[in-house]
Structure 1
Amino acid sequence: MQPLKKRLDNLRREFDDLFAKLQIADKQTQRDALEDELTRPELWNNPTHATEVNKQFAALDSTVSPWTTLAAQLRDIAELMELGDDTLAGEFDGQITAMESQLDELRKALRFTGAFDDHNAIIRLSAGVGGTDAQDFTEMLERMYLRWAEKSGMTTSSVERSTGEEAGVKTSVIEIVGPYAYGKLRGEHGVHRLVRLSPFNSDNLRQTSFALVEVLPQIDTPDEVTIDDKDLKIDVYRSGGHGGQSVNTTDSAVRVTHLPTGIVVAIQNERSQIQNKETAMKILRSKLAQLQLEQHAASIADLQAGESANWGSQIRNYVLHPYSLVKDTRTKYEEKDPQAVLDGKLDGFMESYLENSSYE
């Protein structure tokens, strides 16, 4: 029993060390405060704000819960081992081994040291060169990230989506909520290239198409990224509904321009002008935070003009013909089963990116 107690003591010391390094206690306090706020009936007088609070709580809870669960398990087994029943040694050994594996998994959070790595993520997908093929490829990427999020236990919601005339999507904005969502996804930021026999070409010729993936840290609170009102130009325009001929149209679409950088965010998904403005501002703050990371700027005021993730930064090739391969151009990591990758098998690419800090 003594060797088992020594293993348990070592495990508890390492747990306490990681718990402190990752500031789990602070996150737990934040989560508890949000949980208290959610119990107040008056919160739901503003459904939009209540939804945001609920999302923040869910994200923090998914980060904190594995730690509190493991802490409880450590306490329980320590109490049982104090009883000194040697007949349970085999069971204790199995439980300690399982907890060591859990801690190994939680230890991976140490890699997420960036300013926004613990935030939720916003992914913006844009079809590039390649016409309908590019729009179809963009929809394939949209599905890929949705599948990855589902397999990773994260939740997703569509913020904005513009479909192509023939197939696919022109743009798609997705919110991904889960532990270290931005930290895990930030390596996906850049241009993705597809090579295949085109299903939209009558001669079935090989086609190359491109899509831009922007990964942004979701900024939930305005004070995280402060924007001066004089730096904003806000336009309201007519949002088209289904049916054409001005059917279901309202003056609710909002376009927000950040004058110093030239970044433009336009949202028309919601029927409410206020909701569209709030969504546009949230995405603008996220874009500015990402640009600040890219330019290593001390503050938003120091940013230079320029969109985040330009079309020159190609990061991955998806080759379906004449051979099958998906390869990251930065880390050289590759997978020989493109369909598995397009079904959400992205962890290998993400792990490789995180291990290569020179690509930060």
Structure 2
Amino acid sequence: MRERTDLETRMTAVEKMSAELSDNVELIELGEMEGDQTVVTDAENALKALKSEIDRMQIESLLSGEADSNDTYVEINSGAGGTESQDWANMLLRMYTRWAEKHRNKVELLEIHDGEEAGIKSATIVVKGHNAYGWLKTESGVHRLVRISPYDSQARRHTSFASVWVYPVVDDSINIEINESECRVDTYRASGAGGQHINTTDSAVRITHIPTNIVVQCQSERSQHKNRATAWNMLKARLYERELEIREQAANAEASSKTEIGWGHQIRSYVLQPYQLVKDLRTGVESTSPQDVLNGDLDEFMEAALAQRVHGTTAGEIADVD
């Protein structure tokens, strides 16, 4: 039913755009025949807006992976550097939350570990919405920030790093078998706000999958039972994402020109001082408005990375193909 709904939505959108194209072309012809430049201008502006919508749908049509339509987990970890990198991790958490909200996706905070002075050491959110994993999957990697640190009394420039890991929520149609004897389950007291009960009982749960050394944790609920269930689902999702990555790496083994997107690989730099620039190191896409990017304007970067990942081209080159 989900696949059918998705196909119907796509077909309806294509039919609507086709009708808009025909209508505006006719309006331009009529306006030119009658010498009404206002009608011509309005129709031309409508065609420009239609082209932008078509470009976006062309990119979205690339989201054909078996898990692209799923909800997704986004895990953020601060790098070395203490308070500065922890503040940077918190800025990334806000950035992805803003992006999700702009796309009318629902965001739930699953776990967060606050920094000593400011920011966060780590956090995990789940983004719920159509194609959430498909769009966000290209964000996995290391993000680099260069700025004058507000935590440095001498106002020196600092470089900070934080890691982002994106993996799909596994739905009921995907069967992942886990041998529980290969897992270690630990409970601990949750940190941060949450009332008296959440901070005085061992309600938080951490699961370590020993063969792969994958670690997941959840503290969003007051009930240890609910946190345990969520953590098992997160582990299934991580193992599934790992399998997808292994398959993709095997399929792209001969495509040496493609940049590997994975843990430990720097993908984007955000420079706030001495100049203003955000640059994606995989696609070359740049923005001279870092504040807009940090407020969630990530679509241009995601589209280019997605196009390169699927076809080895840029988003602009995809849009130029008939």
Whether TM exceeds 0.5 here: the answer is yes
Aligned counterpart for 2:150 among listed residues 199, 204, 213: 199
1:327 aligns with 2:279: yes
SS at match of 2:61: helix
Name the structure 1 match of 2:172.
221
Aligned mates of 1:289, 1:338 — CA distance in 2: 34
Name the structure 1 match of 2:238.
287
Aligned counterpart for 2:104 among listed residues 123, 140, 153: 153
Question: Over residues 35-71 of structure 1, what are the superposed CA-to-partner deviations in whole Å (9 max), with x where a residue is unaligned?
Answer: xxxxxxxxxxxxxxxxxxxxxxxxxxxx577448659
- Give the CA deviation at 1:231: 2.4
Q: Name the CA shift for 1:65/1:144 in 2 (closer, same or farther; >3 Å).
A: farther
Question: Over residues 229-273 of structure 1, what are the superposed CA-to-partner deviations in whole Å (9 max), with x where a residue is unaligned?
Answer: 332222334446769999941132222111211112122332111
- Give the CA deviation at 1:223: 4.1
1:112 aligns with 2:63: yes
Name the structure 2 match of 1:40.
none
Aligned mates of 1:185, 1:243 — CA distance in 2: 28
- Give the CA deviation at 1:207: 0.6
Identical aligned pairs, as a percentage? 42
Give 1:319's aligned amino acid: V
Q: Name the CA shift for 1:241/1:229 in 2 (closer, same or farther; >3 Å).
A: same
Aligned mates of 2:203, 2:233 — CA distance in 1: 17
User: More relative contact order in 1 or in 2 (CA 8 Å, sep 6+)?
Assistant: 2
Aligned counterpart for 1:342 among listed residues 269, 275, 294: 294
Name the structure 2 match of 1:174.
125
Greater shift after overlay, 278-287 or 241-250?
241-250
Aligned mates of 2:82, 2:286 — CA distance in 1: 27
Name the structure 1 match of 2:211.
260
Aligned mates of 1:239, 1:131 — CA distance in 2: 21
Greater shift after overlay, 186-195 or 254-263?
254-263
8 Å contact 2:141–2:266 — kept in the other structure? yes
Aligned mates of 1:349, 1:158 — CA distance in 2: 24
- Give the CA deviation at 1:148: 1.1
Q: Name the CA shift for 1:256/1:297 in 2 (closer, same or farther; >3 Å).
A: farther
Question: Over residues 10-33 of structure 1, what are the superposed CA-to-partner deviations in whole Å (9 max), with x where a residue is unaligned?
Answer: xxxxxxxxxxxxxxx6524xx7xx
Q: 5+ residue gaps in structure 2? A: 21-28, 31-42, 250-260, 314-322
Give 2:306's aligned amino acid: L
Query: Scaled by the length of structure 2, what TM-score is found?
Result: 0.74
8 Å contact 1:240–1:250 — kept in the other structure? no
SS at match of 1:221: coil
1:1-360 aligned within 5 A: 27-28=3-4, 63=6, 66-67=9-10, 70=13, 105-221=56-172, 223-239=174-190, 248-296=199-247, 309-310=262-263, 312-357=264-309, 358=312
Aligned mates of 1:240, 1:166 — CA distance in 2: 14
SS at match of 1:113: coil
Aligned mates of 1:225, 1:126 — CA distance in 2: 26
8 Å contact 2:142–2:163 — kept in the other structure? yes
Q: Name the CA shift for 1:99/1:322 in 2 (closer, same or farther; >3 Å).
A: closer
Give 1:349's aligned amino acid: F
Structure (1/2) with the larger helix percentage? 1
Give 1:149's aligned amino acid: A
Give 1:228's aligned amino acid: N
Give 2:229's aligned amino acid: E
Q: Name the CA shift for 1:68/1:356 in 2 (closer, same or farther; >3 Å).
A: closer
Q: Name the CA shift for 1:105/1:348 in 2 (closer, same or farther; >3 Å).
A: closer
Aligned residues: 282
Question: Over residues 268-305 of structure 1, what are the superposed CA-to-partner deviations in whole Å (9 max), with x where a residue is unaligned?
Answer: 3321111111111121112112222222289xxxxxxx
8 Å contact 1:256–1:264 — kept in the other structure? yes
Q: Name the CA shift for 1:71/1:110 in 2 (closer, same or farther; >3 Å).
A: closer
Aligned mates of 2:2, 2:195 — CA distance in 1: 51
Query: Scaled by the length of structure 1, what TM-score is found?
Result: 0.67
- Give the CA deviation at 1:134: 0.7
Q: Which one has the largest radius of gyration?
A: 1
Aligned mates of 1:313, 1:162 — CA distance in 2: 23
SS at match of 2:203: strand
Give 2:103's aligned amino acid: S
8 Å contact 1:70–1:99 — kept in the other structure? no
Aligned mates of 1:355, 1:222 — CA distance in 2: 27
Question: Over residues 286-330 of structure 1, what are the superposed CA-to-partner deviations in whole Å (9 max), with x where a residue is unaligned?
Answer: 2112222222289xxxxxxxxx943x3111111111111111111
